[in-house]
Amino acid sequence: MSEENIKIAVHSGNFHADDCVAYGIISTIYPNNELIRTRDQDLLTQCNFRLDVGGKYNGQTDFDHHQRDFKETRPDNDKIKYASAGLVWKHFGEEYIKIKNKDLQKEQINFIKNEIDYLFIRYVDANDNGISIVDEEAPGFSKIIFLFNYKYGYTNNFGFVRGALLATDVIDGFIGQLTKYLESEKIVLQALEDNNDSHILFLPQKVAFQDVINRHWDKFLSIQLAVYPETNSEKWRIKSLNNDPKDRFSNRCKAPENWRGLTDENLEKATGIADVDFVHPNGFTGGAKNQKAALEMAKKWYETVNNFENNS
């Protein structure tokens, strides 16, 4: 298909997250496009793509899901029917990711594509098909896009394009996050392998370790604390791992009660360790001015908490 003067059709009237996401994906792949919002059949036949309109799905140019005989469901346990966002992502997601990051390998692209589909696109598809898997009154993505109809009006293209740009911003954010995850996974799993059965995980650089732990939960059951450097600083951090992969605010090993909320000299007196920096009042994280102090602090943190629990 020539990339010159591509015409992309979506339906007129109120726009939704479904058609905004679908258009955002296609318009990124074909940036020299003309958006046509219509239900007029004569105009639709003149377009190169028909998204969420036209009564046809072929996986190439037509991506509607409203026809009576459309029964294609998503490949996950929810059995949610595809909407146009999911159909377009199914066929063009790989190409979209390649545009955003040319350095990714095939298996990495497949991983990112599937994750974005599960973490984002399926919610859009569910909403458009009248399936509630989230609180529909909460300001989730689909709700936000629909509110654009009231802010910008639904009869012009400005609000729709704003919604499509927001959709691609979200997808691009996921691509960045998941690319970082793949980089982090190697580092964190290697750190675990080098750990020598310690309850403290030492990470030589700041990485998305919590996401890795959540995905490899059973491998980290004995780990209580993580120690890692801050970004662009000589300081180091200590953080309790979470108790539940679905609850990042739960904690396996909060700091000793008498450390919490202290900083600098007061914390040095309480811990007996030089160069410690702070402990959060809620006890889930703390910091030190250098690696040596952080490791010493983490060791005493773990031993103090576990000695207290064993003697109580």
pLDDT 10s digits, 53-95: 999 999 999 999 999 889 899 877 677 899 999 999 999 999 9
Angle at 109 between CA 104 and CA 112, to 5 degrees: 120
Q: Where are the domains of the chain?
A: 6-181, 195-311
Taking the C-alpha atoms of residue 284 and residue 251, their distance in angstroms, rounded to an integer, is 7
How far apart are alpha carbons 216 and 220 in whole angstroms? 7
Name the token pair of 4: 């010159």
Backbone conformation region of residue 59, classed left if phi is above 0, alpha if psi is from -120 to 50, else beta = left
Q: How high is the pLDDT of residue 312?
A: 47
What is the rounded distance in angstroms from the CA atom of residue 110 to the CA atom of residue 185? Answer: 16
Give, in order, the Cα–Cα distances in Å from 227 to each of 272, 283, 305: 19, 15, 17
Q: Which amino acid is at 4?
A: E
Alpha helices in 101-157 (DSSP H): 106-116, 122-128, 141-152
Largest CA distance in the chain: 80
Per-residue confidence (pLDDT) for residue 3, from 0 to 100: 62
State which residues of the chain have pLDDT below 70. Answer: 1-4, 77, 135-138, 308-312
Predicted local distance difference test score (pLDDT) of residue 136: 63
pTM: 0.79
Q: Which two tokens stand for residue 200?
A: 């403290």
What per-residue confidence (pLDDT) applies to 272? 96
- With b meaning 16 or more CB within 10 Å and e meaning fewer, what string describes 268-297? beebebebbbbbbeebbbbbbbbbebbbbb
* Location of structure tokens 């015409």: 7
- Which amino acid, 40? D
pLDDT of residue 100: 96
Terminal Cα-to-Cα distance of the chain (whole angstroms) = 72
State residue 269's pLDDT score. Answer: 96
Return the residue matching tokens 């007061």: 266
pLDDT for position 12: 93
CA dist list (Å): 293 to 78, 197, 228, 265: 48, 21, 12, 14
